[in-house]
Amino acid sequence: MSLNFWALHGDYVVIGSVLGAKPLGYYSRAYQLISTVPGMLGHLHNMVLFPAFSRAQSDRGYLEKALLVGTEATAAVTLPLSAWGLVLGPEIIFVLLGPGWEEAIVPFQILSLGVYFRAGYRFAASIVWATGRVFSLSACQGIYGILIVVGAVVGAQWGIPGVAVATLLALLVFYLLLYGLTAHVSGASLLSFVQIHAGPSLIFIVVVVTAAVGRASLLGFDWPPIAVLLGSVTLSILALLGATFVLRNRLWGDLLYQQGLAALRWYAPPAEEEAQDHDDLST
């Protein structure tokens, strides 16, 4: 079996072999839930962004801008989901799966922290693939496969939460490797990685804090899980709207902020922007 197989299924194989079928069921269901959004974004990258990157593979300036803008936008979109999964994991599992799935809560909360890493590496991989660095991409996938298997074997000593932590760490390493490779291909500086995550990190903090406060408050009223979930998410969204009013594009980045205003018909791009050669990034 190839290293790609182990990268995709190594944790499943280890859990099934070491811990048994029942823990595998809890883990796999948690894994499937947190993989939904990154999977959808991955299809978007393949259909829309990959062709654009392929046409511009020799334009390092365009690829650098695409990497920075795309990474910032991906982080801003997915980090709130990570925050909600971390804080509201018990309610999400109960609402989506029903009672009897309590063992899936902790793995789900841990794996939720990797939603951004999954979406981020798919975006970076689309640039690497479009520029023909197939061998380098395969090497990164091989390292990821090894880390998944070794980490799962070690983490299994602490049950499926231990495997979830090992999977999260392997995913982080894989994402950092791919971003570093993409930065090399596009000419982006590694310092830019820190800079473009300033706003999305603040988004994550706002959502975590407000969701935690909302959840604690609503649990005190003995509300059902669906009400706690909706109330906490609503409070977080209101807090994000307030932060957006204060910080504007410094919170979401230029792309998402302008797209949001355009959706509300408060913003129209200048005519010169529409005439650019590589306008696929705005789709």
How far is the C-alpha of 278 from the C-alpha of 51, rounded, in Å? 11
What is the chain's pLDDT, residue by residue, as a tens digit (283 residues)?
566 777 777 889 999 999 999 999 999 999 999 988 777 776 676 677 777 788 877 788 888 888 898 899 999 999 999 999 999 999 999 999 999 999 999 999 999 999 999 998 888 888 888 888 888 888 888 899 999 999 999 999 999 999 999 999 999 999 999 999 999 888 888 888 888 999 999 999 999 999 999 999 999 998 999 999 999 999 999 999 999 999 888 888 887 888 778 877 776 666 544 444 444 443 3
Taking Cα atoms as reference points, which of 192, 194, 27, 218 lies closest to residue 111?
Answer: 27
Q: Can you tell me which residue has the tokens 């999260």?
A: 168
Greatest Cα-to-Cα distance within the chain, rounded to the nearest angstrom = 61
- Cα Rg of the chain, angstroms: 20
Q: What is the pTM of this model?
A: 0.87
Q: Please, what is the end-to-end C-alpha distance for the chain in angstroms?
A: 38
* C-beta of residue 199 within 8 angstroms of C-beta of residue 251: yes
- What are the Cα distances from residue 16, in Å, to 27, 95, 249? 10, 26, 46
Structure tokens that stand for 202 in this block = 């603040």
